Amino acid sequence: MTPILEARELVRIYEAREGLFGKVTPVRAVDGVSLSVRPGETLGIVGESGSGKSTLGRMLLGVDPAQGGEVRFDGAPMPERRTPAWRALRARMQMVFQDPLSALDRRLTIADQIREPLDIHRIGTPEERADRVASLMGSVGLRPDQTGRYPHELSGGQRQRVVIARALATDPALLVCDEPVSALDVSIQAQVVNLLRDLQETTGLAMVFISHDLKVVRNLCDRVAVMYLGRIVEEGPAETLFARPQHPYTQALVSSVPVPGRALDSRIILQGEPPNPAARPSGCAFHPRCPMAEPMCRGAVPSLRATAPGRTSACHLVAGAAPATAA
C-alpha cells in the first residue's frame, strides 16, 4: 500500500542566541528524519522535551518549513507553504494540540467552531454544514444540547472532543496529534484515547500521535518512532518495541515508566540532564548519558539500520538483524 504520508531526510534548523547579546548558534531541532505512515495506520512519536517531536509534527503538515528534505502527501510532493494548493490540501490533513482551551476561540460557540473548517474550505450548503456539525458532535460524544455552549462552559475532556470534531470536519486522511491527552485527567484521558481509536476504526484515518506518555502510545499506536535530539534512534511495532527495546535510550525510557508493583531501584535511572539541542554531543548524541557507551560512540554517529524485521535502531552496540547482547 502506498503511504499517505512520507517524509525523507527532514531538517529544521532554528537560530538560538546564547544570552541577550551572545552569538547566534544554529540549532538542528530536526536532523534528517525519514518516516512514512500508511492509510489507517497510527505512528507514535515519543521523546523528551527538546527531542524535536513537536517540530517534526508541524513539519509533516508543512506548517513549519523544512530546510532540507521533503514531505510527500498521498504520493505527491507537499505544495509550497501558504499557497492556495497547500491550503486546499490542509483540508485533508489536520492537527490536534495539547491545550484545547488555547486552540479554541472563547467567543464562538462550539458548533460555530466545528463548522469553521467547512466554511473555510467551502464544503456543502449551510444546511449540509449544520447536519455535518450535528453528526460530528455525535461521533465525538458531545450532546446536541451543547451546540450553543462556549469553551469555558465545558470540561477539559469535552473541549478536546470539540477540537477533535473540528479537525475531523473536513474528513481528513491524516490527523497529527501533539500530546492530545497530556492535559487531561486519567479517567478522561481514557475516554479520549478510546474516541481516537474508534474514529480510526470507522473512518480509516491515518494518525501521527506525538506524546511523551509511553503507556498511551503503546495502547494506541501500531508503530513507534523514538526521537532523541532531533533524530529517530529506534523504530518498530509498538508491542515489540516496548517489550524488547534495543537502543539504550529506549530501554531507559521504557524503564522510567512508573509501574505499580515494580520497585524503584529496579529501574534504569539515567544520569545527566535532558539533552540540549544547542550543544549536541559528538558521535552518538546519547553517549554522555548512555550506561553502555564505548569509545567509538564518542566519535562516530550511528546510522539507523534494520535490526530485525520491521525494526530499525541507531546504536553501534545493537547488532544488525538480531537483538544484541547489550540489550
Partner 1 sequence: MTKLVEIRDLRVAFDGVPVLHGIDLDVAPGEALGLVGESGCGKSVTWLAALGLLPEKARVSGSVVLEHRTLSNAPRSELEQVRGGRIAMIFQDPSSALNPVIRVGRQICEALRLHRGLSGKPAQAEALRLMDMVGIPDPRRRFNLYPHEFSGGQCQRLMIAMALAGEPDLLIADEPTTALDATIQAQILDLLATLRRETGMATVFISHDLGAVAQVCERVCVMYAGRIVEAGPVAQLFEAPRHPYTRGLFDAIPRMDGPRTRLVPIDGTVPDPRALPAGCAFAPRCARAQAFCRTERPELLPQTDGRLLACAYPVPAAPAVPQRERVSQ
Question: Smallest gap, in angstroms, from Cβ of residue 10 to partner 1?
Answer: 23
Length of the chain counted residue by residue: 327
User: What pairing do the DSSP bridges indicate for beta strands 174-178 and 206-210?
Assistant: parallel
Question: Smallest gap, in angstroms, from Cβ of residue 82 to partner 1?
Answer: 33
Residues binding partner 1: number (CB under 8 A): 44
Binding pattern to partner 1, positions 188-217, x when CB under 8 A?
xxxx-xx--x--------------x-xxx-
Query: Alpha carbon of 150 to those of 106, 107, 108, 136, 155: distances in Å?
Result: 6, 7, 6, 17, 11
Binding pattern to partner 1, positions 52-91, x when CB under 8 A?
----------------------------------------
The answer to whether residues 96 and 177 touch, using CB atoms and an 8 Å cutoff, is yes
- Residues of this chain, 111-140, that bind partner 1 according to CB under 8 A: none
Q: Cβ-count burial of 84 within 10 angstroms (0-12 exposed, 13-18 middle, 19+ buried)?
A: exposed
Q: Helix or strand or coil: residue 53?
A: helix
Among 274, 291, 310, 320, binds partner 1 (CB under 8 A): 274
Q: Does 48 bind partner 1 (CB under 8 A)?
A: yes
CA distance 283 to 300: 4
Among 125, 263, 295, 325, binds partner 1 (CB under 8 A): 263
Choice between 132 and 161, CB closer to partner 1: 161
CA distance 304 to 228: 12
**Positions that interact with partner 1 (CB under 8 A):** 48-49, 155, 157-158, 185-191, 193-194, 197, 212, 214-216, 218-219, 238-239, 242-243, 252-265, 267, 269-270, 273-274
